[in-house]
Amino acid sequence: MNIESRLAQIGSISEPVTGAVSFPIYQSTAFRHPRLGQSTGFDYARTKSPTRSVLEQAIADLESGDAGFASSSGMASLQTIFALFSQGDHLLVSLDLYGGTYRLLEKVMSRFGVTASYVDTNDLDGLESKRQSNTKAVLIETPTNPLMMITDIAKVCTWAKHHNLITIVDNTLLTPFFQRPLELGADIVIHSATKYLGGHNDVLAGLIVSKGKELSEQIAFLHNTMGAVLGPQDSWLMMRGMKTLALRMERHQHNATRMAAFLDAHPMVEQVYYPGLESHPNYEVQQRQSSGNTGILSFKMKDARTIEPILRSIRLIAFAESLGGVESLMTYPAVQTHADIPEEIRRQIGVDDRLLRFSVGIEHIDDIIADLSNAFEIASNELN
């Protein structure tokens, strides 16, 4: 069945007793055993819980994986995955990385003896030069946030397999509607489902999908043992959001494409970072491995003094952290999402004080452009 149909039908045919079209919220932590040595398949909700199970099966199916796991946040998913590694292990990680992932690796995992090197994961020579005898995995974000760098997933997976490394892809920015890394050879996909999958800026969640029996069993063990699982209410909200993922992603892509063209032509803007622009350095790789483009883009203003008036003057667009929801949000990465990344690394990759990240919502694009145009005009007038 096509992905649009599978999305719309999440949970709709799973409840046999009443025929409820919307899968119920099973608000129970304990499950009665029929007899000694028997189980309904559910024993205790940390291990397995009915509403969460439907969500987990759905995401496993959408990503073409073998098992899905719902966590209390994207960071909880990452923490569960990092627990696959032991003292002395080393990871290769995308240079332009989500700030929270960097913080977890550098401030927490490092204390447990798990180290990481940050590299441009699209550069195989760079990856090879940073690979150590104790390297166990590659963690890729593609596109990266906020600089929209693209990694050729299949190319890295082939290289990683050759060296016996597992490949983990953070697929938050594209979702399985546009990109399915497991089909390209990856072993694990993680999501901050708080973003596009939930889609409404109202529920915090993480999702993991794995390929292969042994890895899936290891993750199931860690998910249950570490316990950062998603509750039944939030699992239901997540499925509710995901039913409209196809429609939302198509509109996000449409709006972001129009916005990228507007910004690209604007005299106050120095550079636009969007993989849907033909001028993007990895446009061809992006077109090959994904069926569409994200609704996130970043842009660099020519003059840093315009940032404050722009963020003060936008009205429809909210000045707020996060991304991927129906509402347009604008973030200032250098002082918000990426503040935990040392200035030296930020400067090296180009996250500076002139860069804004824009999560283009599903409002009418003319209204979004009008709002930003107005803010640009106010900023320009204040400079003169």
Taking CB under 6 A as the binding criterion, the range among 71-79, 221-229, 232-240, 308-316 that sits at the site for ligand PLP is: 71-79
138/375 with CB nearer ligand PLP: 138
Instruction: Give the residue among 152, 162, 204, 153 at the shortest CA–CA distance from 182.
Output: 153
Taking CB under 6 A as the binding criterion, the range among 69-77, 237-245, 262-270, 351-359 that sits at the site for ligand PLP is: 69-77
Structure tokens given for 78: 């990452």
Q: Which of 63, 170, 234, 371 binds ligand PLP (CB under 6 A)?
A: 170
The string of DSSP codes covering 107-135 is IIGGGGT-EEEEE-TT-HHHHHHH--TTE
Q: Which of 195, 240, 300, 346 is catalytic?
A: 195
Pair type for strands 67-71 and 115-119 = unpaired
Q: Which of 6, 46, 130, 243 is catalytic?
A: 46
The string of DSSP codes covering 242-298 is HTTHHHHHHHHHHHHHHHHHHHHT-TTEEEEE-TTSTTSTTHHHHHHH-SS--SEEE
Contact call for residue 75 and ligand PLP (CB under 6 A): yes
Provide the CA 219 distance to its chain's centre, in angstroms.
Answer: 19
Q: Which of 145, 235, 298, 331 binds ligand PLP (CB under 6 A)?
A: 145
Distance CA 129, CA 138 (A): 13
70/204 with CB nearer ligand PLP: 204
Q: Which of 115, 192, 255, 298 binds ligand PLP (CB under 6 A)?
A: 192
Which residue is nearest to ligand PLP, using beta carbons?
Answer: 74
Instruction: Give the residue among 209, 360, 237 at the shortest CA–CA distance from 299.
Output: 360
Q: Which of 54, 84, 138, 204 binds ligand PLP (CB under 6 A)?
A: 204
Contact call for residue 63 and ligand PLP (CB under 6 A): no
Distance CA 313, CA 228 (A): 39
Query: Annotated catalytic, 46?
Result: yes
Structure tokens given for 165: 């490394």
205/375 with CB nearer ligand PLP: 205
Contact call for residue 100 and ligand PLP (CB under 6 A): yes
Contact call for residue 73 and ligand PLP (CB under 6 A): yes
Q: Which of 89, 96, 152, 170 is catalytic?
A: 170
Q: Which of 48, 136, 195, 357 binds ligand PLP (CB under 6 A)?
A: 195
Pair type for strands 135-141 and 318-319 = unpaired
Query: Annotated catalytic, 283?
Result: no
Distance CA 20, CA 23 (A): 6
Whether the upstream peptide bond of residue 146 has omega within 30° of 0, thus cis, is yes
Query: Annotated catalytic, 170?
Result: yes
Q: Which of 23, 82, 98, 376 binds ligand PLP (CB under 6 A)?
A: 98
Contact call for residue 177 and ligand PLP (CB under 6 A): no
Pair type for strands 90-94 and 115-119 = parallel
100/212 with CB nearer ligand PLP: 100
Query: Annotated catalytic, 347?
Result: no
Binding site for ligand PLP (CB under 6 A): 73-75, 98, 100-101, 141, 145, 170, 172, 192, 194-195, 204, 206
Catalytic residues: 46, 98, 170, 195
